[in-house]
Structure 1
Amino acid sequence: MDTSREVDRLRSALDRIARRRPSMPAPQVLVVAPGLELESGGSQPFHAASVGKVMTATLVALLVEQGRLGFDSPLGKLLPASDVDGLPAAPGVDVRTDVTVEHLLTHTSGLPDYFEPPRGSRTAVSTRTAATEPDRYWSPAALLDEVRRLPARERPGERFRYGDTAFVLLGRVVEEVTGEPFNAALRARVLEPSGMERSSTPYSDARSPADLEGLDVAPFWLGRHELSRALSMSLDWAGGGIVAPPADLVRFQRALHGGRLVSPETLRWMAAPRHRRRRGIHYGAGMVTVRFGEFTPPFLRGLPEPVGGLGHFATHLFYYPRQDAHVVLNFHAYRRMNQSFMTHARIAQLLAKR
């Protein structure tokens, strides 16, 4: 089917978004499917934000397949007391024995989140405060210390609450199991096997602001603050510290869905939706499914349901199994999230016709 007219309309819509806010870069869009490749906004590497959680989850699942740990492994068997002791726990809950790897992957651990803390609580590394100290490096230990300042939430398995705390702990699990720094383990087991030659983890690899001065990365905003050279973005660590060009993210998805990283059975387990964060957004174990039919416009019903990852800066990485299509979006800021989903819905409509 000739979809050139729809592609031209999509390009025009992206141009209008760019003209509307000339102070921000144009959205980056890459769509790759058999007989179709649409690229807009350039190929500069960008901070993928929580899209990186898909890679962390893949790394953990790979280690499970190797027998290094289990999805049902309790944290106390994998981490030292210095990581686990003092973390907030509901009455009667022992984090060492009651919180498992699966709880962390599915955001059901009951642990509070340092980046979006419970109402009435504050941390020095939240959406409201992270930009106030842009030159501060956040180690995993320092992030967990911020968690210790927060009130306890639910019992493990009781309720879904999305957050970054779980993925800091998963990063530490990777380090303890492999005996390697998390970034090195991720690079050797996920990035390099996927052919992601231009991808890196600069914010957590850096130790001073000077280490980021020459970084090739697209600008992104947290509130009104542009933070592409901010050392404080080390707060993402194992929860999404990847900087990658769009094409590298497609390479990762091809490796993941092509069976080169984990088995098809394990991938199905990761992708299977378990909890709804909000209408249309459903979480599995480190992966997200988008159900456009749950969004308000009725004409979105019946569209394909892609699986992948979402990031705070309006970043998308999704795969459409039936269409064998890959979609990468970077809209540079949370305030553009609605625009990013409107664009993704148009892409889904285009792919549904193929």
Structure 2
Amino acid sequence: MPLETTTVAALDRRLAEEQSTCRLPSIAAGLVRGGELVWSGAVGTVDGRKDGEPATDDTQYRIGSITKTFVGVEVLRLRDEGALDLSDRIDAHLPETSDSEFGHVSVAQLLSHSSGLQAETNGPWWERTEGGDWAALLASRPGLRFRPGARFHYSNTGYAVLGELVGRLRGVPWDEAVRTGLLHPLGMARTSLRPQAPSAPGWAVHPLADLVHVEPEHDAGALAPAGQLWSTVSDLARWAAFLGGRTEGLLSAATLAEMCLPIVVNDNPGQAWTAAHGLGWQVWNLEGRRFGGHGGSMPGFLAGLRVDLETGDGVVVFANATSGMGTITVDLMTLLAEREPLPPTPWTADAEQVGGLELVGDWYWGTTAYSLRLAADGGLVLGEPGLKRGSRFKRTETGWVGLDSYHEGEPLVAHRGPDGHVSHLDLASFRFSRTPYDPTAQIPGDVHPDRWH
């Protein structure tokens, strides 16, 4: 459904403000809803001149580290195919790394930037110089800055390693694996390793004058998996739809959700943390709402992709400037959510919930009271998720299993008395009864013979 005219006008104005106040040669953006591009806009000219070539939603920009999300998805596809395990040491697949400092780090640690591997290369500034091949990178002896698993440490070098892993297991260069496995099936024909016209040149804008300076563009070689892909608003909107759940069968919903779990917190002293890294994706917790995506920057370019993981609404933004872009990514999503909120899902009765009806009601864990209710998706909700160990549960063949909070992954089993009615619940060994310390509920440690006294 098209957006309201007033919404489009507000989005267009906000984009124009960003280009003007942040002094960006050009900026292009798009919003995704329901898996479709519902708005796009572009302001400025690709060369920053008044009479230059206007930017459009088909102008290619370098997306920088958003490239890492494609590499991460391809690694998880290999995992789902049985080619690797996330806990595998990297030298199990790249044996030449066994003599390096990082041969023992795991695939999962590389994906989540928790391997401790150095951020950049030992050679010259790789973003501005021609890159060497994998052998040259390995010969430069990249090292560990921290103990693997100890903390978050962003590593472009780590994604060079993952790119080599993808290429080795697929039997083709990493970018070809991404192109045939992801880009082609998703119809992303304008996403490529090197720029394809029409494309924007990269500019640096002087911080104290209205002047520009050309930035270099080259093949980064072994470091290309860390930030070399180019894309357009129309193309990257399809990738945002992918993250929003439109995976077109290329990745299971369960694996996509696994990739978006926050594994390592991006902790900055003196600041409340809101950002973390999952398996290839950045994740944010903003006032209780979860977002996924990634940012990107290279000399001459800035990019952003962010998706509300609950609604699937998403945004993509590009600019051809080395620095300067402000809060446009969040602001565009906020304008969409506030001006055109998604309608609530209509309520309907669900006869399949009858099977769980005998479990609902009041339960007690020791002296703590909980309410157990059926959710709209057929699962159970114990208390308030996140408070006092409240959790959601989904049905399994043997009972129920926790989906979040303290009890995530833990089993919930309903036990019956001689009369066939549910007498108590067993949640990972914790015993829940209909009244506090019900003597008929087989409370571990027994109930005092005087009971309540």
TM bucket (normalised to shorter chain) is 0.7 to 0.9
Selected match of 1:350 from 288, 312, 336: 336
In the alignment, structure 1 residue 163 sits paired with structure 2 residue 155: yes
Aligned to 1:125: 125
CA contact (8 A) 2:304 2:329 kept: no
1:267 maps to 2:256: yes
What is the aligned counterpart of 2:320 among 318, 332, 342? 332
Which stretches of structure 1, 4 residues or longer, exceed 4 Å deviation after superposition?
1-4, 221-225, 232-236
Do 1:280 and 1:291's aligned partners in 2 also have CA atoms closer than 8 Å? yes
Tell me the SS of whatever aligns to 1:327: strand
Report deviation, 1:4.
Answer: 4.4
CA distance in 2, matches of 1:45, 1:32: 18
Number of residue pairs matched by the alignment = 308
Counterpart-to-counterpart distance in 2, 1:351 and 1:45:
27
Could you tell me which runs of 5 or more consecutive residues in structure 2 were left unpaired when the two chains were aligned: 43-55, 207-212, 268-272, 343-453
Alignment root-mean-square deviation, CA: 2.8
CA drift at 1:272: 0.6
1:18 aligns with 19
Q: Does 1:285 align with 2:279?
A: yes
Whether the aligned pair in 2 keeps the contact of 1:175 and 1:182 (CA below 8 Å) is yes
SS in 2 for 1:335: coil
Residue matched to 1:276: 265
Residue 32 of structure 2 contacts residue 240 of structure 2 at CA under 8 Å; is this kept in 1?
no
| Stretch deviating more after TM superposition (185-194 or 3-12) | 3-12
Deviation at 1:59, TM superposition (A): 0.3
Task: Answer whether contact 2:264 2:278 (CA < 8 A) is retained.
Answer: yes
**Residue number among 201, 204, 223 corresponding to 1:219 in the alignment:** 201
Equivalent position of 1:70 in the other structure:
85
Instruction: Tell me the residue number matched to 1:30.
Output: 30
What's the TM-score, normalizing by structure 2?
0.61
CA distance 1:292–1:11, change in 2 (3 Å): farther
Tell me if structure 1 keeps the 8 A contact 2:109–2:149. Answer: yes
Report SS of the residue matched to 1:8. Answer: helix
Larger helix proportion of the pair? 1
Among 87, 105, 109, the alignment partner of 2:111 is: 105
Larger Cα Rg: Structure 1 or Structure 2?
A: 2
- Give the structure, 1 or 2, with the largest relative contact order (CA under 8 Å, sep 6 or more): 1
Q: 1:61 maps to what in 2? A: 76
Match of 1:51 among 66, 87, 93: 66
Secondary structure of the corresponding residue to residue 68 of structure 2: helix
| Structure 2: distance between partners of 1:75 and 1:36 | 38
How far apart, CA to CA, are the structure 1 residues paired with 2:319 and 2:72? Answer: 24
Greater strand proportion: 2
Q: Is the 8 A contact 2:240 2:316 kept in 1?
A: no
- 2:80 and 2:90 map into 1 onto residues whose CA distance is 18
Q: Secondary structure at the match of 1:231?
A: coil
* 1:94-131 Cα distance to aligned partner (Å, 9 max, x none): x33x311001001111111216xxxxxx64025xxx43
Unaligned runs of 5+ in 1: 90-94, 116-121, 203-211, 294-301
Match of 1:320 in 2: 308
Q: CA deviation at 1:217?
A: 2.3
C-alpha separation in 2, matches of 1:350 and 1:192: 29
Structure 1 residue 84, shift from structure 2 partner: 4.9
What's the CA shift for 1:236? 4.3
Give the counterpart letter for 1:190 in structure 2. Answer: L
CA distance in 1, matches of 2:27, 2:125: 27
2:294 counterpart SS class: strand
Cα distance change on mapping 1:14 and 1:254 into 2, 3 Å: closer
Amino acid at match of 2:107: V
Note if contact 1:195-1:252 (Cα within 8 Å) is conserved in structure 2. no
Closer, same or farther: CA 336–290 of 1 in aligned 2, 3 Å: farther
